[in-house]
Structure 1
């Protein structure tokens, strides 16, 4: 069986960092992700996906991300049941983040691809101590198509 999710989108609000009673950091946030295709009117639809990150990943997200920032989240889909304030049974679907990466460089507002590399010159570090650097896409004249 496989339970894997990878999403890329923008944070709808600043991440919320809390601690469990046992002092474990947990961060919740929502990512707005555009669907691949437009609707009949040519408008793109957007899904708003809830994400939860734990421990070091939670601290990383709360420190380096804020509303409007592009984020890449790798993790798994989780469902949980709970009772709301009125006693109604509810179900929540969320992505539990295993890995989080920057979706754009801090100096510009455009989207870029990110890949894991040797220690980068700009010193950007992601969760788990991995280093990240924007991919060099090269000159488009060199493309074979």
Structure 2
């Protein structure tokens, strides 16, 4: 049987770190994973996938990852159930993460969280920074000095 999951997404909030009664670390988190297509309005939707990670990996994730962190996760899907206070059976499907990888540097993550972008080649918008001029675009078509006679078409 094969039960493998590979996800890339952003944390919706800081990981929730806890310890079992026997001292085993466990962290739960939710990844927002963009879909590969847009809806009829042209917007990209996301799936919010609940994940759990155990032991040293859980402690490490809780120490280094914050809300908005771009994260790669490998693991497996697991379904569990329990009885709630009203006596109803509740089923939970989640990804049990076996490995994770931070997919952006701490510097990029901190800049994104603070709303500033120091790298002009980044894909982020620069419009939230007061008194900052955008970098000069050397490839702006309005700045090319070519006559129509020089064009091959």
* TM interval, short-chain normalised: 0.7 to 0.9
Query: In the alignment, does 2:29 pair up with 1:25?
Result: no
Corresponding residue for 1:89? Answer: 89
Q: How do 1:1-145 and structure 2 match up within 5 A?
A: 1-109=1-109
Structure 1: give runs of 5+ residues left out of the alignment: 111-145
- TM-score, length basis structure 1: 0.72
Greater Rg by CA: 2
Q: CA deviation at 1:62?
A: 0.4
Q: Secondary structure at the match of 2:107?
A: coil
Off by >4 Å, runs of 4+ in structure 1: none
> What is the distance in 2 between the residues matched to 1:32 and 1:66?
13
Equivalenced residues, count: 110
More strand by share: 1
CA offsets 1:61-114 (integer angstroms, 9 cap, x no match):
10000111111110000001112222211111100011010021122259xxxx
Scaled by the length of structure 2, what TM-score is found?
0.69
Name the SS for the 2:18 alignment partner.
strand
Is the partner of 2:108 in helix, strand or coil?
Answer: coil
Q: Superposition RMSD on alpha carbons, in Å?
A: 1.3
Name the SS for the 1:95 alignment partner: strand
